[in-house]
Structure 1
Amino acid sequence: MALSFENDSTAIPVIGVAADYASGHIIPAHSHQRAQLLYAIEGVLVIETELGRWVVPPSRGVWLKAGISHTVRMRGAARMRSIFVNPDAIPGLPDSDCVIDVSPLLRELILAATKVETDYQAESRDGRLMRFILDELCSLPILPFNLPWPQDARIIRVCQALVEEPADGRAASDWAAMLAMSDKTFHRQFQRQTGITFGRWRQQARLLMSLESLAQGMPIVQVALQHGYESQSAFAAAFKRQFGLPPSEFYL
């Protein structure tokens, strides 16, 4: 996605951009000189970098640091609204790639920012609006929507298979045997590569992948079974522990 403002003066600390995409559209790997907040007022965004994968439903946004190469995939027709921020615009901006909660206030600020021309003055109404956005970005909670991604090709094979087939119930010992590793070596390598245990990673992958299916209106019991849970109740309990809401309420 080429953006004409990339060479604009850094005197403009914040820029808003609006773009709509069809379901399934993929923005290939690219990066920006500015940090970016990606937010969809409709649809689900799946954002991938070398180090992680984020599934971002409406009311959440993903923050990417400047220079981070990433792809964006649309699940459902997506109306994406982005905020691009100079990394040194204000102290206290998120210091790592993450998902943040987009409050109703920040949502309205983002929508307003996408209508602002890029030649605004710092002391104008538009300049104060952008400053307000910066203040909000420094105060919003970080959410557990990240799926850490390994760098080792062997562990990538396992993770990719589980993302493509979340209901795959093979035990860690089965994956270890496939990679010609001992169980102990597999668990050690997996945690070293991802920062979390194999069991925790698989559960997180299942729950994050389930967000895409829920966003498309799939019945909860079907989502549960397709993502490796034996019952709707087991899925709902795990989902609420992870996201703070039951799946039936998540997109309300």
Structure 2
Amino acid sequence: MDTSRKPKALAQALQEIDELPSPVSGRATDYPANWHIAPHLHARHQLIYAVRGVMVVQTEVGRWVVPPTRAIWMVAGMTHEIRCIGEVHMRSVTVATDAASGLPGFTQAVGISPLLRELIRAAMDLSQPELSDLSDLPYIPDSRDGRVMRLILDEIRVLPVLPLHLQMPSDPRLLQICELLQQHLDDTSTMADWAQRLAVDVKTIQRLFVKETGMTFGQWRQQARLLRALELLASGEKVIDIALALGYDSPSAFSTMFRKQFDQTPSQFFAEN
């Protein structure tokens, strides 16, 4: 059964999601290349998963780059927007906040196991997105279909967290550094260089970086480069061009960094799709 649909008015889609009667429900939507989903929030948790394409998810606490075989667990009530890199086939699971105990309490990038991938596909067939009466449950809780949905909850509880997040600081001095770096990721300025430009003590900036982002300056810049690399790889850019654009001395230096983070080369990472 083809459950994919064209993007519809955001307000209508939000109302449909938040009024779903079942505690767990699947939802399928296909988005064209470069589609932008404007900032919004849900009263339900969401497991946002794309079987095709790469999503860039932005919230007030940071940004995630999410390729296929990965997903975002978006907690209820968090405002977010999504930018599609290439055509995106989104297969989301929405979860009522009282559906189960032990669900993740933070928005985070997660891995999708082969079992959960198949369960998500099954959820698309069970949820019947165009219900004529939203008071009707699309499946009986104490049934095979209901057990499939409960198994999804079990899998969500043990999702592995992935390093696909870029935490943005709130301190205006650090925010200035981070915003400029994201515009010029090939910038090789040191922490001392930035401290001199901003007339701030180096140790102060170092301390604030760790406090507000959980990373050192060098780690933050590497993470920003890594996430941008995922976007460029998904767009079909060559590794040599990505390496030079992000300030690496050579493609091998970039590939070494990538392998250290994901235990895979860039080509292996996207071959999983």
**TM-score range normalised by the length of the shorter chain:** over 0.9
Aligned counterpart in structure 1 of residue 168 of structure 2, from 115, 135, 149: 149
Structure 1 residues 193 and 32, CA gap change in structure 2 (3 angstroms): same
Q: How many angstroms does 1:210 deviate by?
A: 0.3
**Is 1:196 equivalent to 2:215 in the alignment?**
yes
Alpha carbons 2:17, 2:42 under 8 Å: kept: no
Please list every run of 5 or more consecutive structure 1 residues that lacks an aligned counterpart in the other structure: none
CA distance in 1, matches of 2:213, 2:103: 24
Secondary structure (helix, strand or coil) at the match of 1:163 reads: helix
Partner of 2:157: 138
Q: How many angstroms does 1:18 deviate by?
A: 1.0
CA distance in 1, matches of 2:173, 2:124: 42
Q: How many angstroms does 1:76 deviate by?
A: 1.0
CA distance in 2, matches of 1:8, 1:93: 19
**Is 1:60 equivalent to 2:79 in the alignment?**
no
Secondary structure (helix, strand or coil) at the match of 1:46 reads: strand
Cα distance per residue 1:28-48 (max 9 Å; x no partner): 111111111111111100111
Q: How many angstroms does 1:17 deviate by?
A: 1.0
Cα distance per residue 1:177-222 (max 9 Å; x no partner): 3333121222222222212111000011111110111111211111
CA distance in 2, matches of 1:161, 1:142: 28
Q: Scaled by the length of structure 1, what TM-score is found?
A: 0.93
Partner of 1:34: 44
CA distance in 1, matches of 2:186, 2:123: 41
Identity %: 47
Secondary structure (helix, strand or coil) at the match of 1:43 reads: strand
Partner of 2:5: none
Secondary structure (helix, strand or coil) at the match of 1:19 reads: strand
- The aligned runs of 1:90-169 (5 Å cut-off) are 90-115=100-125, 116-117=127-128, 119=137, 120-169=139-188
Aligned counterpart in structure 1 of residue 90 of structure 2, from 71, 80, 93: 80
Read off the aligned partner of 1:105 and give its amino acid letter: L
Cα distance per residue 1:230-251 (max 9 Å; x no partner): 1111111111111111112110
Please list every run of 5 or more consecutive structure 2 residues that lacks an aligned counterpart in the other structure: 1-9, 130-136
Alpha carbons 2:17, 2:94 under 8 Å: kept: no
Structure 1 residues 22 and 177, CA gap change in structure 2 (3 angstroms): farther
CA distance in 1, matches of 2:176, 2:85: 23
Moved more, 28-37 or 123-132: 123-132
CA distance in 1, matches of 2:67, 2:75: 20
Q: How many angstroms does 1:152 deviate by?
A: 2.3
Deviating beyond 3 angstroms after TM superposition, the runs of 4 or more aligned structure 1 residues are: none
Number of matched pairs: 250
CA distance in 1, matches of 2:68, 2:167: 21
CA distance in 2, matches of 1:13, 1:213: 37
Name the Cα RMSD after superposition: 1.5
Alpha carbons 1:220, 1:248 under 8 Å: kept: no
Q: How many angstroms does 1:145 deviate by?
A: 1.1
Secondary structure (helix, strand or coil) at the match of 1:75 reads: strand
Alpha carbons 2:109, 2:163 under 8 Å: kept: yes
